Amino acid sequence: MNKEIQQLIDMGATVAQARAALNKYRDVMQAAEKFFEGEFENVVEDNSGRAHQPQSRATNRVEDVEMENEDDAGELEDDDDSDAYIDYDSDDDGGMPVNSGASKVNDPYAGIFFSKDRREEVIEIEEEPVFVSVPEIDQKVELMTQGRWMAGCAEGGEQSFLFSLYSQLSESQLSDLDGVCACPSGCGQTVKRKQSDFFAIYPKFSTYIKHLRNVVPQRCIKCQTEFCFACGEKFSQDARDSLWHCSNLQGVILGVGLFMIERLFEQQKEESEIREATERGTKRRKTRGINDDGSIGGSGKKKGGIGYAGELKEDSSGQAEAQANQLAKDSRIRALLAEVRDYLPFLQRSNGPYPSDYLPHPSSLTHLRRRFNLIAGELLRNDSLADMSDRHGLYFELLEWLETISSHESLCSMMPMPIMRNVSQQTVAKKTNTSSIRERKIIYEGSASPRELLEVIALQAQAALKGLESSKPHEELLPELSEEQKRKTIVSAKGKSRDDALPGGDLDETSKLYSFCRRLLATTVQIDRSLRELKGDEFVTRMHDSLPKAYTSASDSVYVDAGDTEEDAQKAYIKWATSSRFEYCDLTIPTTDDSEETLNYKHYFNNEIRMLANANIPKRSVAIAKELAILTTNLPVAWDSSIFLRVDDTRVDVIKCLITGPEGTPYHNGCYLFDVFLGANYNQSPPSVKYITTSGGKYRFNPNLYADGKVCLSLLGTWSGPGWVPFKSTLLQVLISIQSMILCEEPYLNEPAWASDAGTPQSKAYSANLRRMVVKTAMLNALQNPPEPFEEVIGTHFRLKARFMQKQLDEWLQEDDGRALVPDGAEYSGAGLNSSTSSPNGFKADIDALKDLLKEL
């Protein structure tokens, strides 16, 4: 059974109806249009299997269809004509198997391409802009040249559809037939199409649509037949709107509209980048000598301590203005998106679908995959759920697009398909006999799909909702939105804001974030429901298997194989750490009775936690929700150093953190535990942080990590320098500062008085003493007595690295200076540096014991 017949069957036609329609009209698009007009509704198969249409002169030859079909199928399948239709549920590396009609496999879409391991090289032509005068607005407008029309298409098979449609709707030097529209009555009259008819880029999309309404309906000057200028067919008597007459129109409208969106998006992005660069330059001039991390160090090359840059404060002036500018830009993009969205193929229109809604032009998917995916990808890569919530108008419109695309069988496959991103381009000038042209060699690589990017945000939204559970229930304020209510939250086709349609339009920040999270999660559910209905359960299951996971519970943890090489181990480690970096768990101390007494926690700040057991502080709840959203998917993970968090599943303000020491430091591969509590004034005030890996308050691991657990960091207010910025600073910033600025290469320099002693004997002795502490406490003891709730993390961390830690330990032993381990390395400064002992310092014994444990792992 050929592909064209299968396409008509998928739209509801019987085998006989599909064969009859294609036999009469040949062109699948025209056949589909006539089928939906009811022309073949009486076609049936007789007992012999032949098509039969009683009382219809349109099917005189239908009886011979089956005998001719075998030859026809061969012609259609081998036809390389550019008007053929692509199977969008296929790809170069695996396509959708065609169903036989007698039986279907469980997963007919098993060949859908999910892998991001793709690389395509494309040559694109850069053309000089061309402008023409148009009477509608009495000014010159730019024409979309063929090169610009086809730019960004990484799929060779799809380029032919773009080329075919452009040639058909504009003048062409390649063929006298392209650009010519003949009267469908056969009177011989023709009309020449111009590029400005369909490819003029007007200042406003609405002006472009108005122009098309004037151009598309044509009346033959010879026989007065009214026909469509895009496809050359007569308008049917029940045509509701000329701009939905054919898929040619749909393809060109979406192509031009998406180009206008992409250009506006890119222009505003460039403007923002220029402004930010200017502001950074101004700020640097004002704070000359201050490094990006807040420390004094000139160019940043000179080593120095951290966090003692005086009483500097971050300049937050202009923040409100910048936010207002961003919302104004969002409003323009949102309005344009809403206008263009009306022309997406959509079968659930309130006034019923149009013929082109059933069978979109191939270029429609092509434009969506290259132009819309670019914009959607940029917006969904925003790692701040709070920023999305603040810009909810634009993101609500984006979600509406994703739902609309996923609801159509011809388009929904792009949801799990990788976005092909431009990763490299090289411009080459070439000279011809008449002129010079510029070619761009562009390399595209596969990246995360729209559904994968949405999943990352959905995981953040789930965490944010969990963080909001401590505030008053929001169900009373925000009932589940109906489909009509959801659509009213989007900008209308005229671009006017309709945010007041959202329940509680002027809700506080808590309710706004809550509403946005629910809307986003509802979209993921709707997309998956559509894909399940259109593609099947097996398809959605495979897609979910490829999506990122925020965390796995202890019961879901599986053994991770380190492989045979260090490269294998690194890949396994990163994959494991990514899924294990953030988890909810029970941090309470079990009780022996059923008393309602306030629970105790396995946490340094237990008393403060108990005091806030029943607190309801809305601003704090919002801050915690935003914090969890960031932490869920943004904790740094690497072979060199990672951050792991465990959050109590009922008290999300109670957190434990484990940081593995960075490579190239005396802390390398050690495990360092911190207790974190988001107090009553969070986020107006910084979190409370306590360092736990002190061997019972015995060892001081850094000038900024005291033996009593105090963490000295300007962000925490425990050290001078740029401090916590209310409602802007984050816990993630604190954790990364500890990881990179405290657990550093030369920790001796973190003491202000010693900041200029880089590379001195005192600094080297301090680091040697630290290595002895690390092996004894953060490595050996961590393996022998892993702290709750990081038993599995510590075990897997050392097991995956066991073979490769041997070299590190040997190097540390060789670099050891033979001095005794002291609780505070500061004793090695001054006279203490000359003290030594002839007795063993126990370092070798600790390393040997650690090696034995690693061998067991």
Looking at the fold, whether 269 and 394 belong to one and the same domain comes out as no
Amino acid (one-letter) located at 172: S
Looking at the fold, whether 353 and 462 belong to one and the same domain comes out as no
**What value does the mean pLDDT take over residues 551-562?**
64
Within-domain flag for 604: yes
Whether residue 90 has pLDDT greater than 50: no
Convert 201-251 into a string of H (helix), E (strand) and C (coil).
Answer: ECCCHHHHHHHHHHHCEEECCCCCCEEECCCCCECCCCCCCHHHCCHHHHH
User: Rounded distance, CA 779 to CA 660, Å?
Assistant: 10
Looking at the fold, whether 544 and 559 belong to one and the same domain comes out as no
Residue 503 sits at φ, ψ, to 5 deg, of: -50, 120
User: Rounded distance, CA 417 to CA 154, Å?
Assistant: 13
Within-domain flag for 49: no
281 vs 378: which has the higher pLDDT: 378
Alpha-helix runs per DSSP H in 238-343: 247-286, 319-341
Whether residue 681 has pLDDT greater than 90: yes
User: Rounded distance, CA 520 to CA 389, Å?
Assistant: 10
Amino acid (one-letter) located at 748: Y
Within-domain flag for 840: yes
* pLDDT tens column, 797-837: 999 999 999 999 999 999 998 898 998 877 765 545 555 55
719 vs 678: which has the higher pLDDT: 678
Looking at the fold, whether 586 and 494 belong to one and the same domain comes out as no
Looking at the fold, whether 507 and 618 belong to one and the same domain comes out as no
Looking at the fold, whether 480 and 629 belong to one and the same domain comes out as no
For residue 216, the enclosing domain spans 118-282+344-378
Per-residue confidence (pLDDT) for residue 161, from 0 to 100: 87
Whether residue 746 has pLDDT greater than 90: yes
Whether residue 703 has pLDDT greater than 50: yes
Per-residue confidence (pLDDT) for residue 593, from 0 to 100: 65
Active site residue 712: yes
**What value does the mean pLDDT take over residues 77-100?**
37
Looking at the fold, whether 572 and 511 belong to one and the same domain comes out as no
Convert 434-465 into a string of H (helix), E (strand) and C (coil).
Answer: CCEEEEEEEEEEEECCHHHHHHHHHHHHHHHH
Whether residue 386 has pLDDT greater than 90: no
> CA Rg, the chain, in Å?
33
Q: Which helix (H) or strand (E) element contains residue 66?
A: helix 65-78
Chain length of the chain:
857
Whether residue 792 has pLDDT greater than 90: yes
Within-domain flag for 670: yes
Strand partners of residue 689: 676
Whether residue 100 has pLDDT greater than 80: no
User: Rounded distance, CA 481 to CA 464, Å?
Assistant: 19
Q: Where are the beta strands (DSSP E) in 678-807?
A: 688-691
Per-residue confidence (pLDDT) for residue 545, from 0 to 100: 86
Q: Which of 741, 512, 728 is closest to 627 using CA atoms?
A: 728
Within-domain flag for 59: no
Per-residue confidence (pLDDT) for residue 776, from 0 to 100: 96
Burial of 480 (0-12, 13-18, 19+ CB in 10 A): exposed
Q: How far is residue 256 CA from its own chain's centroid? A: 25
Among the candidates 521, 548, 575, a domain finishes at 548
Per-residue confidence (pLDDT) for residue 828, from 0 to 100: 63
Within-domain flag for 462: yes
pLDDT band at 512 (very low <50, low <70, confident <90, very high): confident
264 neighbors 239 (Cβ within 8 angstroms) = no
Show Cβ contacts of residue 116 under 8 Å, excluding neighbours closer than 6 positions.
418, 445, 446, 447, 448
* pLDDT tens column, 129-186: 889 888 777 788 999 988 889 888 887 778 888 888 998 888 754 445 557 889 998 8
Whether residue 716 has pLDDT greater than 90: yes
Catalytic residue from among 220, 228, 712, 744: 712
Looking at the fold, whether 234 and 172 belong to one and the same domain comes out as yes
Q: Which of 766, 753, 569, 760 is closest to 665 using CA atoms?
A: 766
SS3 583: strand
Amino acid (one-letter) located at 366: T
Residue 420 sits at φ, ψ, to 5 deg, of: -85, 115
User: Rounded distance, CA 195 to CA 167, Å?
Assistant: 9
Strands 180-182 and 119-126: unpaired
pTM listed for this prediction: 0.75
Two structure tokens written together for 825? 């390395």
Strands 44-45 and 51-52: antiparallel
User: Rounded distance, CA 365 to CA 158, Å?
Assistant: 9
pLDDT band at 393 (very low <50, low <70, confident <90, very high): very high
Among the candidates 528, 548, 568, a domain finishes at 548
Whichever domain contains 690, its CATH number is: 3.10.110.10
Per-residue confidence (pLDDT) for residue 239, from 0 to 100: 59
In the Cβ-directed half-sphere of 410, how many Cα atoms lie within 13 Å? 25
Strand partners of residue 52: 44
Whether residue 848 has pLDDT greater than 90: yes
523-528-534 Cα angle (round to 5): 125
- Kindly report which listed range (429-443, 560-574, 721-735) carries the lowest average pLDDT score: 429-443
Looking at the fold, whether 211 and 234 belong to one and the same domain comes out as yes
**What value does the mean pLDDT take over residues 333-341?**
96
Looking at the fold, whether 632 and 526 belong to one and the same domain comes out as no
Among the candidates 524, 548, 572, a domain finishes at 548
88 neighbors 535 (Cβ within 8 angstroms) = no
Percent of the chain at pLDDT exceeding 90: 39
Two structure tokens written together for 820? 């005794």
Burial of 123 (0-12, 13-18, 19+ CB in 10 A): exposed
User: Rounded distance, CA 378 to CA 489, Å?
Assistant: 22
- Kindly report which listed range (103-107, 315-319, 724-728) carries the lowest average pLDDT score: 103-107
Q: Which helix (H) or strand (E) element contains residue 675?
A: strand 671-677
Per-residue confidence (pLDDT) for residue 767, from 0 to 100: 94
* pLDDT tens column, 578-607: 989 999 999 999 877 666 678 899 999 999
SS3 182: strand
User: Rounded distance, CA 312 to CA 603, Å?
Assistant: 33
- Kindly report which listed range (234-238, 527-531, 722-726, 801-805) carries the lowest average pLDDT score: 234-238
Looking at the fold, whether 492 and 372 belong to one and the same domain comes out as no
Within-domain flag for 68: no
Looking at the fold, whether 677 and 745 belong to one and the same domain comes out as yes
Q: Which of 186, 193, 195, 164 is closest to 233 using CA atoms?
A: 186
User: Rounded distance, CA 164 to CA 179, Å?
Assistant: 11
* pLDDT tens column, 30-50: 676 666 666 776 676 544 444
The domain total for the chain is 3
Per-residue confidence (pLDDT) for residue 400, from 0 to 100: 95
Within-domain flag for 171: yes
**What value does the mean pLDDT take over residues 482-500?**
39
Whether residue 119 has pLDDT greater than 90: no
